[in-house]
Amino acid sequence: MIVAEAKPIEEVLAMIDRYDKIILAGCKECVAVCAAGGEKEVQLLASALRTARKTAGREIEIREVTLERQCDPEYVEGIRGFAGDYQAILSIACGVGVQYMAEHYKTIPALPGLNTSFMGGSLEQGVWSERCQGCGSCVLHLTGGICPITRCSKSLLNGPCGGSAQGKCEVDPEIECGWQLIIDRLKALGEFEARFVELFPVRDWSTSRDGGQRKIVREDLKQ
């Protein structure tokens, strides 16, 4: 899923400072699962913003909505009926949701209430970790199912650098060395000898962000 976290409330308050009537829009997909932008977070943030503005002597009207998905035109259109009555849309979906709001409501400012962080999963209650960078050319079958581009801090493709120590990355002892994980996994699979010695050639990054904004067209699904 896409993992995001709330922006500091001071930053959000500064963003909405000139408005007194806004929509606060959550999303029931990834950001709800990672407890950053679902229905519950909409309620909590709305309440915190109202209190802060009341204390500052400038009350704010907030309309709370939580859409099924903010990355889908059908649901984004769901607020069409009343959007024009508000000065801004504060979205606590991922960056995709904020941009869909901006694209659909051309005269209403769309503001981000979250920092969209990464594609990852949960490790335990309250802990999420990055797994994929969406490089557009998956190599997981060659690296024991562990991504060198995401898990190695330097995205090295030919083994660990000289900074790997006791399974940890030189960048931060909290970060596991991605290549240590890959090596351990390849050994467990009995693939180490075959895979590790092979030279990984220079990569084509044009499938990644480096090729410009990406788009997938599925002719079989288009109407």
Partner 1 sequence: MKTESRLEKILDKGAFAVTSECGPPRGADPDVIREKGKLLKGVVDAANITDCQTSVVRMSSFASCLILKEMGFDPILQMVTRDRNRIAIQSDILGAAALGINNMLCLSGDHQRFGDHPQAKNVYDIDSIQLIMTVKKMRDEGKFLNDEELTKPPKLFIGAAANPFADPFEIRALRLAKKVAAGVQFIQTQCIFNLDRFAEWMRQVVDMGLHERVAILGGVTPLKSVGMGKYMKNLVPGMDVPDAIIERLKGVEKEKQSAEGIKICIESIQRLREMEGVRGVHIMAIEWEEKVKEIAEGAGLLPRPKV
The type of residue at 51 is T
CB of 192: closest distance to partner 1 in angstroms? 9
**Nearer CB in complex with partner 1: 143/164:** 164
Write down the residue that tokens 């009926």 correspond to: 81
> Beta strands of 71-184 (E only): which ranges?
88-91, 110-112, 114-124, 127-132, 168-169, 172-176
Contacting positions for partner 1 (CB under 8 A): 153-167, 170-172, 177, 180, 183, 196-197, 199-203, 205
**Nearer CB in complex with partner 1: 63/203:** 203
Is residue 39 within 8 Å of residue 29, measured between CB atoms?
no
**Nearer CB in complex with partner 1: 33/161:** 161
CB of 115: closest distance to partner 1 in angstroms? 16
**Nearer CB in complex with partner 1: 68/193:** 193
CB of 182: closest distance to partner 1 in angstroms? 10
Measured CA to CA in angstroms, residue 12 lies from 26, 34, 149, 207 at distances of: 15, 19, 33, 34
CB of 118: closest distance to partner 1 in angstroms? 16
Residue among 189, 160, 190 nearest 175 (CA): 160
CB of 157: closest distance to partner 1 in angstroms? 6
**Nearer CB in complex with partner 1: 110/152:** 152
Residue among 111, 100, 90 nearest 48 (CA): 90
